Structures are given as structure tokens and as C-alpha cells.
Amino acid sequence: MSARLKAPLGALTLDNPFVNASGTYGYAVEYADFVDVARLGGVSVKGISLEPRPGNAPPRTAETAAGMLNSIGLANIGIEAFVRDTMPRLRELGVTVIANTFATSIEDFVELAKRFDDVEGIAALELNISCPNVHAGGMHFGVSGEAAGEVTSAVREVTSLPLMVKLSPEAGDICEVARAVEAAGADVITMINTIRGMVIDVDRRRPMLGQKMGGMSGPALKPLAVRMLYEVYQQVSIPIIGMGGIGSLRDSLEFFMAGAAAVQVGTANYAEPGISLRLADELDAWLAERDLALTDIIGVAQD
């Protein structure tokens, strides 16, 4: 990847600004046979908890006109199996790994951070304080500045990894949450997670998903995500990674121009697992034509 694509995020610099979003790319090893996963800017792995989780009852996904709903419920193999079985393979493949973690208590977020701190080959820790798909906890940390600040500072105390905190569009005031996590020591803000939606199966006269509601992702989310990022950029000085509905170069340019230092690509991976590499090449050509570097366009749509 060319130098013009470098994406500085404080202590961490990504080779290119396209990271695959948590929950939409498994643990990345699943794609290694047909995508050069080492060339990705990074992969935020499926949210990892202390214990393995089976996830929610099916059906867990539903298609919508401009994206999808999911209520996976954070099914994952748990930190022990991830560190023992998956990390060696990810190191071998040379993947830039962002460890996305999920817990329902501050103590468990702290325990996860402590255990990841010693693991070789983790580029950053991403706290998912914004998952709408579990009954107990998760999102409640992400909807109030006070709770988000508390969990961030507790984790900050025990980790030396670059700390990313993922915000929820369901926060009453996302700027307040962003300011709180910055003040509590986050290095990077990632935004946004999904927002709850519902699809009704009219034949059964019941909600389609087993959990009734699911997190909405894909193209429908993009204008909301860009607006929120544009606003948060004005209120914090740490870098922001933007996401929500990115499926083309122009989509990603909107996020960069609103102020994103890098982006994550989620739902679009289902249709095209190599999309992030294609977008990185397209961005490279777009920047070269204009004799620009990525850092020259970040936030240029701001007043």
C-alpha cells in the first residue's frame, strides 16, 4: 500500500484506512484463503467476551430495503479459545488485529483488557459499549456519558494497548458520550454501532427475528452515521473511525471529509468479502490523481 494511504491514529498508524467491522468478518481467518487479509488496514474481530456465548435464538438476521437487521447476540468463542487457537493463526497471517470486546459489567471489561494486554499481535482494543442485541447490559454503557466514562477509565488503568471505544447512535447525546470517553483516556473513538429496528413477518403476524428487534446496519445507516461523526469531530480532538453503510469509495470519502481518520466496513463484506482492499486501491488512485494524501482530506467538509 502506498504511503499516501497511511492512517495515523495516535500511537497506532494503519497502512490504509479500511478496517473490517466487528461481527461482519468473523475472526478474519475464515477469509484467508481468498482475501489477502494482511493487506487490510485492520480487522476488528467478532466481539469477544470472557466466556463463550451461543448467541440469540434464530432467526438472527433479516434483510431490509437498504441493509439488514441482526440479533446475533454476540455469539463468540470466548477469550480463552480466541487467544489459544485463533491468535497464532492471525499472527502467522500478519493481520492487524483489533480486539473488539464485550461485557455486561465494568469488572468484566477490565478483566478482558488485562488478559488482552499480554497477548502478542493485538494492535488495539475496541470496547463495544453499544451492542443493542443483548438483554443484560452492553448498550447501557454507551447511552450515558457518565457510564461510558466510567468503563473507559477503568479499562484505561489496566491496558497499555491503544484504546478504542465504540459509540452507539442510541445515545441521547452522542457528543456528550464522545467527550466523556475522551476525558477518560480513550485514544480513538469508533462510531457508530447499529440502531435497533424491527421487521414484521406479515404471514405469521409476528416480528421476524427471534429477539423481535435487531441492530440495523448497511446503507440506510450512512446519513445518520455521517451526521453524527460530523458533530462529534467538532467536540473531540482524538481520532475517529467512522462506519455505517460504507459500500463505495464515495461513501468512504463522505466519512473522511466529515472528519474520520479511518473507516470500518461491515455489512458490505457479505456481498463482497474483498471490498475493503478494492476501496483502498480506489482511494489510492483517487488521491494520486489529485496529488493528495489521505490526511489532506480529513475533515475538509467542516466549516
Ligand X SMILES: Cc1cc2nc3c(=O)[nH]c(=O)nc-3n(C[C@H](O)[C@H](O)[C@H](O)COP(=O)(O)O)c2cc1C
AA letter at 240? I
Q: Minimal CB distance to ligand X: which residue? A: 23
Using CB under 6 A as the criterion, what x/- string covers residues 68-107 for binding ligand X? --x-x-x-------------------------x-------
| Stretch 20-39 residues interacting with ligand X (CB under 6 A) | 21-24
C-alpha cell read off for 277? 482492499
Q: What is the CA radius of gyration of the chain?
A: 18
Q: CA–CA distance from 65 to each of 144, 208, 217 (Å)?
A: 31, 15, 11
Q: Catalytic annotation on 175? A: no
- Beta-strand ranges (E) seen in the chain are 7-9, 12-14, 18-20, 42-44, 61-64, 67-70, 97-101, 122-128, 163-167, 188-191, 195-198, 200-201, 206-207, 213-217, 240-242, 262-265
User: Nearest approach, Cβ of 153 to ligand X (angstroms)?
Assistant: 20
**138 or 149, CB closer to ligand X?**
138
> Rounded distance, CA 18 to CA 207, Å?
34
> Rounded distance, CA 241 to CA 249, Å?
16
**270 or 286, CB closer to ligand X?**
270
**58 or 296, CB closer to ligand X?**
58
- Determine, following the binding rule CB under 6 A, whether residue 218 of this chain makes contact with ligand X: yes
> Rounded distance, CA 27 to CA 291, Å?
36
User: Nearest approach, Cβ of 303 to ligand X (angstroms)?
Assistant: 27
**63 or 117, CB closer to ligand X?**
63
User: Nearest approach, Cβ of 21 to ligand X (angstroms)?
Assistant: 3
**102 or 233, CB closer to ligand X?**
102
- Determine, following the binding rule CB under 6 A, whether residue 217 of this chain makes contact with ligand X: yes
How buried is 251 (Cβ within 10 angstroms: 0-12 exposed, 13-18 middle, 19+ buried)? Answer: buried
Q: Using DSSP, state whether 301 is helix, strand or coil.
A: coil
- Determine, following the binding rule CB under 6 A, whether residue 246 of this chain makes contact with ligand X: yes
Among 49, 128, 152, 211, binds ligand X (CB under 6 A): 128
Whether the Cβ atoms of residue 22 and residue 75 lie closer than 8 Å to each other = no
Catalytic residue among 131, 184, 240, 277: 131
Binding site for ligand X (CB under 6 A): 21-24, 46-47, 70, 72, 74, 100, 128, 131, 166, 193-194, 217-218, 221, 243-246, 265-268
